[in-house]
Structure 1
Amino acid sequence: MNQYEFNQLLEKYLAGECSPDEEKLVHEWQENTLKTNVLLLSEPEQVSVKKRLWQRITEAVFEETTLRPFYKTPWFQWAAAASVAIVFGGGWLLSQQTKFSKNPITHTLQTPHGIEVKNTAANPRQIHLEDGSVVILKANSSVTYPEHFGKQSRSVFLKGEAFFNVKRDPTKPFVVHAGELVTEVLGTSFTVKSYEDAQSIEVVVATGRVSVYENSNKPTQQRNGLILTPNQKITFDKASRKLTPSIIEKPVVIQPPTHPTTFIFDETPLPNVLKKLESAYGLQIIVENQMLNQCVFTADLNELPLRTQLDLICKSVNASFEQRGTSIFINGEGCK
């Protein structure tokens, strides 16, 4: 079949005039053009590309075929070019589709460094890695990872922001390289925010323990780094290369849901109240004036955020609290 005959076949197909055998030929053409790009397009993306391709051809063709033959229309030429692009790489169609869609999609490409996923959509994209770990890639971000992890570690490279829920494997640390900062864990969940045009890099821990250190050629014992636990975060200033640990804005209770925590106190000694908060949030609370330990506290603090709980406790015992790094300090004259 020459090009002219093939063009005529497509025109008949879109007009619904094909025989069963002719329809079969067109369907085979569609499948073959997409299958050649299977390494670059996931199965859902193949279906999406196919639908968009034929929808755009159909809509445009019936507007123009009254004026000229189908195979001479610009939209047929675009379709042919798109088909060639799919066959010989697929990257062109992925890069151009933002012109035809109001909602950009995620680009998945095979690079010399591994598989690179770029999220140009407005919503986060969930990525499942071969070890069972899950990456929630935020908008305007990209992550690169090998098709198969090595024997000693599981390394990925991040640009932008992502939440990592890492499958525990004590034999293979999970390592996130984000600009000038490295985050290393065995199995936990955390968020890394590392945009190239930002002045700092941020790591926030949700569960488990996370080792965060500067990406440098210094020996391990000389690296600038810290260990973070839940409700803690660290900010790395790119200019000063300073790591600043702190507490997240809204700490959450980290105890398992099978052991719900209640914050109801009735004439409870202040040390016991603070110990309950320490255990629930995994944070250190230090009383600087020991006279405060003689105070008692009565209140229902359920369903209140940590900072509100601390504020109510301090007001009741004539004290105030201050956050320094990843610890909370309480000081004041104490109850009378």
Structure 2
Amino acid sequence: MDYKTYKTDDFLFDESFRQWTAGTSPEATAFWEQWLTQNPDRVHVVRQAQELVRALNDHYQDDATDARLTSELRRLVRNAAERREAEAADTPSIPLGQRISPWRWASVAAVIILLGFGLWRYGNVNRRVAAESYTHLTKTAQVSLQETVNTSDHVVNILLSDGSAVTLRPKSRLSYPAQFKATTRVVYLDGEAFFDVVKNPAKPFLIYANQTVTKVLGTTFLVRAFESEKNVIVTVRTGRVSVYTQQDFEKAQQSGLRRIQGVILTPNQQMIYNLGDHQLMKALVEKPAAIMPETVSREQVFEDAPVGKVFATIEQTYGVKLLYNDDDLSACLVNLTFTNESLLERLDVVCQTIGASYEVLDGQIVINSKGCK
């Protein structure tokens, strides 16, 4: 194949070129890097094509197959060529020196392709967001729903048919059935609410909220998902929840997949879903609260205690996982007294005592230490 004759838009239809640009094929990468070394005069057009491929990949990979991308590309390029021919036929003869170069036409075609795909993408995203909205979901639900809307400036308490309790915050609304189905418990939220879900492993509890689905078996947690805001936040107080994008969750349901890519949260962890980049991010809450308040309320004394015992007590009190090397810390003994310090204040004291440090990564706390002599 003579790639030397390729124009910018020709590269878009070359699978090997697209793989190289996306970095998904070592063979393609080796070939194209060698080819560019041998054909330095083609660097400009190749870079131009790469920019276009990256733009297409960044914007359309989540809802467009390769076949559809190729089909749309061919259609847009064909339309651009037809326009160019029509314009040429209607334009008086132009001296050779004043004619638009092929490179200029390639740039115009690239712009047309991007604009066309941008409009297509914009329409697809708008249709998908509309299909995931609170209004659409409640109207198309397979069961009859009742709705509670909190227009007051104080919380409203709701008791669901299974005994689960919901504290609905101001400017929020919740739709739910009078009686849950035999296999699942599904509710729809627009706004902010605290859930205290009755445990029932046989009937998962699902909260649909602003392009996300939170799945629990029985726990307490907070969901903030106003359709007017850019982020969805799920914060766990006790137990364990799983959070998914609605798109991934429904695809898995339709295909029968048991494993779904999502985020698993435990006490004092939270998930932040950004509606702009469609990313689920796990983090530690700003002020971790004790899941065993009675432990924090009384004085805790450690005399010549292994630091591992102190860490185990902290984990049990706050439900937060501490990651550290047992062997490195096996010789570390501490004398400490805790009264009403917070989680992070306790960690500060312990780490200063043994000459260690800590960092929060992915909703967990990592202890860094060289050990004690």
TM-score with structure 1 setting the length: 0.62
Q: Could you tell me which residue of structure 2 aligns to residue 269 of structure 1?
A: 306
Deviations 1:57-87 (A, max 9, x none): xxxxxxxxxxxxxxxxxxxxxxxxxxxxxxx
Q: Could you tell me which residue of structure 1 aligns to residue 208 of structure 2?
A: 177
Q: Could you tell me which residue of structure 2 aligns to residue 232 of structure 1?
A: 269
Q: Could you tell me which residue of structure 1 aligns to residue 355 of structure 2?
A: 318
Segments of 4+ in structure 1 off by > 4 A? 110-113, 256-262, 333-336
Q: Could you tell me which residue of structure 1 aligns to residue 192 of structure 2?
A: 161
* Unaligned 5+ runs, structure 1: 1-109
Q: Could you tell me which residue of structure 1 aligns to residue 21 of structure 2?
A: none
* Unaligned 5+ runs, structure 2: 1-137
Deviations 1:290-310 (A, max 9, x none): 544322211111211000000
* Structure 1 residue 149 corresponds to structure 2 residue 186: no
What is the correspondence of 1:22-171 to structure 2 with a 5 Å cutoff? 114-171=145-202
**C-alpha deviation, 1:159, in angstroms:** 0.5
CA distance 1:182–1:111, shift in 2 (3 Å): closer
**C-alpha deviation, 1:334, in angstroms:** 4.5
For 1:260 and 1:312, how far apart are their aligned partners in 2? 18
CA distance 1:278–1:316, shift in 2 (3 Å): same
Which of the numbers 322, 331, 353 marks the counterpart of 1:285?
Answer: 322
Which of the numbers 232, 239, 246 marks the counterpart of 1:201?
Answer: 232
Greater share of helix residues, 1 or 2?
Answer: 2
Would you say how many aligned residue pairs link Structure 1 and Structure 2? 227
The residue identity in structure 1 corresponding to 2:230 is Q
Q: Could you tell me which residue of structure 2 aligns to residue 243 of structure 1?
A: 280
For 1:239 and 1:214, how far apart are their aligned partners in 2? 13
For 2:218 and 2:150, how far apart are their aligned partners in 1? 24
Query: Secondary structure of the residue that 2:147 maps to in structure 1?
Result: strand
The residue identity in structure 1 corresponding to 2:243 is V
Q: Could you tell me which residue of structure 1 aligns to residue 43 of structure 2?
A: none
Q: Could you tell me which residue of structure 1 aligns to residue 13 of structure 2?
A: none
**C-alpha deviation, 1:255, in angstroms:** 3.7
* Structure 1 residue 218 corresponds to structure 2 residue 251: yes
CA distance 1:245–1:111, shift in 2 (3 Å): closer
**C-alpha deviation, 1:333, in angstroms:** 4.4
**C-alpha deviation, 1:180, in angstroms:** 1.0
TM-score with structure 2 setting the length: 0.56
Preserved contact between residue 162 and residue 193 of structure 1 (Cα < 8 Å): yes
For 2:337 and 2:310, how far apart are their aligned partners in 1? 11
CA distance 1:300–1:259, shift in 2 (3 Å): closer
**C-alpha deviation, 1:289, in angstroms:** 8.9
Q: What's the RMSD between the two structures over aligned residues?
A: 2.5
**C-alpha deviation, 1:259, in angstroms:** 11
Preserved contact between residue 214 and residue 223 of structure 1 (Cα < 8 Å): no
The residue identity in structure 1 corresponding to 2:201 is P
Q: Could you tell me which residue of structure 2 aligns to residue 55 of structure 1?
A: none
**C-alpha deviation, 1:227, in angstroms:** 2.0
For 2:274 and 2:300, how far apart are their aligned partners in 1? 37
Q: Could you tell me which residue of structure 2 aligns to residue 295 of structure 1?
A: 332
**C-alpha deviation, 1:244, in angstroms:** 1.1
For 2:318 and 2:295, how far apart are their aligned partners in 1? 16
For 2:305 and 2:326, how far apart are their aligned partners in 1? 18
The residue identity in structure 2 corresponding to 1:206 is R
Query: Secondary structure of the residue that 1:265 maps to in structure 2?
Result: strand
Query: Secondary structure of the residue that 2:334 maps to in structure 1?
Result: strand
For 1:227 and 1:176, how far apart are their aligned partners in 2? 15
Preserved contact between residue 289 and residue 331 of structure 1 (Cα < 8 Å): no
Preserved contact between residue 288 and residue 329 of structure 1 (Cα < 8 Å): no
For 1:327 and 1:258, how far apart are their aligned partners in 2? 21
**C-alpha deviation, 1:254, in angstroms:** 2.2
Same amino acid, percent of matched pairs: 36
